[in-house]
């Protein structure tokens, strides 16, 4: 062991989570991962959702999901073999299949069932990824969580250093958020004492209404600077891109959604670099 167990050690492990469905978790995992790769980071996306939307959205056909997250949770030793190249240089995927629905049953009597993903990540965190030019170590591992707090999310929360929370700019946004922070508090007590909220990103923001501004003001009154300045607009290219198996940055690089995810990536990198180098 290097002795460097700090929360800022690399790769950074980020769970994209919100128990509320359809708020933009998968869209954020895919497009933030792509945006990070586009600015030189090496990224692994782990698809922890049986729906497999991150895998489909990255254009990985079912036939190409040879070793899936399910297989890895069954046997963390095969994690390295699950890593699947995507069409984005520097971005690899651990794909998921519907098999993941069976994890809860399969691991019911396994004492370390909450820590299977953590074990797998320990074994792959030093892998080198080809970014099209050279092989480099992973900078970020982004885990796309399902919309519920089941054993899959528990594994993600046990493995992650921090949680990125996409919040849809809508009326009841804050209610869901307080549930989420309570759950994170529980995860911290039970599984992962240093788990923190990395940040909150507003998604599907419609700038023609005042609602987004109201939600942003409410979220920042509770979470302060955890709310990112970058906001993700509602943008049709973002919702079309997965049907082409592409992140929006490949499908329509100039779309407002593409630019927004690049801004988010830059803000996250800037914040974390700032945290690494405290002012003298
Ligand atoms: N910025 C955006 N602009 C337009 N549509 C969007 C945007 N972000 C997400 N969507 C659409 O909203 C829907 C839900 O998004 P997504 O699948 O990312 O949410 P999720 O939180 O992962 O859902 P689930 O809880 O089912 O996993 C999708 O159809 C997606 O294409
Ligand atoms: Mg999803």
pTM equals 0.95
Q: Which tens digit of pLDDT belongs to each residue from 137-170?
A: 999 999 999 998 899 999 999 999 999 999 998 8
- Could you tell me if residue 104 is inside a domain? yes
User: Of all protein residues, whose CA lies closest to atom 30 belonging to ligand 1?
Assistant: 239
Torsion of CA 189, 192, 194, 198, to 10 degrees: -110
| 56 and 279 Cβ atoms separated by less than 8 Å | no
* Ligand 1 atom nearest residue 145's Cα: 27
Return the pLDDT at 6.
43
- pLDDT score of 35 more than 60: yes
Rounded average pLDDT over 198-223: 90
Q: Which tens digit of pLDDT belongs to each residue from 75-99?
A: 999 999 999 999 999 999 999 999 9
Rounded average pLDDT over 193-220: 91
Q: Which tens digit of pLDDT belongs to each residue from 238-276?
A: 999 999 999 999 999 999 999 999 999 999 999 988 766
Q: With H, G, I as helix, E, B as strand and everything else as coil, classify residue 7.
A: coil
Return the pLDDT at 3.
38
- Could you tell me if residue 279 is inside a domain? no
User: Of all protein residues, whose CA lies closest to atom 16 belonging to ligand 1?
Assistant: 24
Return the pLDDT at 166.
97
User: Of all protein residues, whose CA lies closest to atom 23 belonging to ligand 1?
Assistant: 22
Considering every ligand atom, which ligand is closest to the CA of 54?
2
User: Of all protein residues, whose CA lies closest to atom 5 belonging to ligand 1?
Assistant: 239
Listed residue (52, 28, 147, 38) closest to 89, CA to CA: 38
State the CB neighbour count (10 A cutoff) for residue 244. Answer: 13
Within the chain, what is the greatest distance between any pair of CA atoms? 53
Residue list, ligand 1 pocket, CB within 6 Å: 21-27, 49, 53, 147, 203-204, 232, 234-235, 238-239, 257
User: Of all protein residues, whose CA lies closest to atom 25 belonging to ligand 1?
Assistant: 21
Return the pLDDT at 175.
82
* Ligand 1 atom nearest residue 241's Cα: 31
Of 2-11, 43-52, 183-192, 263-272, the least confident:
2-11
What mean pLDDT is reported for the chain?
A: 93
Return the pLDDT at 131.
87
Listed residue (215, 208, 216, 261) closest to 237, CA to CA: 261
- Could you tell me if residue 50 is inside a domain? yes
User: Of all protein residues, whose CA lies closest to atom 15 belonging to ligand 1?
Assistant: 24
Output 94 or 6, whichever has higher pLDDT: 94
Residues 6+ apart with CB under 8 A from 147: 18, 19, 20, 21, 22, 23, 25, 49
- Could you tell me if residue 280 is inside a domain? no
Ligand 2 center from residue 22 Cα (angstroms): 7
Instruction: Say which CATH number the domain at 58 has.
Output: 3.40.50.300
CA distances from residue 271 to 27, 73, 197, 242, 266 in whole angstroms, order as listed: 22, 32, 13, 29, 9
- pLDDT score of 278 more than 70: no
Confidence band, pLDDT 50/70/90 cuts, at residue 208: confident
Confidence band, pLDDT 50/70/90 cuts, at residue 174: confident
Give the domain extent around 156: 12-274
- Could you tell me if residue 133 is inside a domain? yes
Pocket test for ligand 1, best of 54, 236, 239, 252 (most atoms within 8 A of CB): 239
Strand 128-130 to 84-85 pairing: unpaired
Ligand 2 center from residue 4 Cα (angstroms): 33
Confidence band, pLDDT 50/70/90 cuts, at residue 1: very low
- Could you tell me if residue 2 is inside a domain? no
Q: Which residues surround ligand 2, an ion (CB under 5 A)?
A: 25-26, 53
The number of distinct structural domains making up the chain is: 1
- Could you tell me if residue 66 is inside a domain? yes
- Could you tell me if residue 100 is inside a domain? yes
């Amino acid at each position: 062991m290097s002795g460097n167990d700090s929360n800022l050690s690399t790769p950074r492990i980020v769970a994209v989570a919100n128990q509320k469905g359809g708020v933009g978790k998968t869209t954020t995992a895919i497009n933030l991962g792509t945006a990070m790769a586009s600015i030189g980071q090496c990224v692994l996306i782990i698809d922890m959702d049986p729906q497999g939307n991150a895998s489909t959205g990255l254009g990985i056909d079912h036939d190409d999901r040879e070793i899936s997250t399910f297989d890895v949770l069954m046997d963390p030793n095969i994690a390295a073999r699950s890593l699947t190249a995507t069409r984005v240089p520097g971005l690899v995927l651990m794909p998921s299949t519907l098999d993941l629905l069976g994890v809860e049953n399969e691991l019911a009597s396994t004492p370390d069932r909450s820590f299977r993903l953590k074990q797998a990540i320990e074994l792959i965190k030093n892998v080198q990824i080809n970014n099209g030019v050279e092989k480099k170590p992973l900078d970020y591992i982004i885990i796309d969580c399902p919309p519920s707090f089941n054993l899959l999310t528990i594994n993600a929360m046990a493995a992650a250093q921090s949680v990125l929370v996409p919040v849809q700019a809508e009326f009841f946004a804050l209610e869901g958020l307080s549930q989420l922070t309570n759950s994170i508090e529980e995860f911290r007590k039970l599984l992962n004492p240093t788990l923190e909220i990395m940040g909150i990103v507003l998604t599907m923001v419609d700038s023609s209404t005042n609602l987004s501004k109201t939600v942003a003001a409410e979220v920042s009154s509770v979470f302060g600077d955890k709310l990112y300045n970058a906001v993700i607009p509602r943008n049709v290219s973002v919702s079309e891109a997965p049907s082409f198996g592409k992140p929006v940055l490949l499908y329509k690089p100039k779309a407002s959604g593409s630019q927004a995810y690049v801004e988010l990536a830059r803000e996250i990198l800037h914040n974390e670099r700032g945290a690494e180098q405290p002012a003298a």
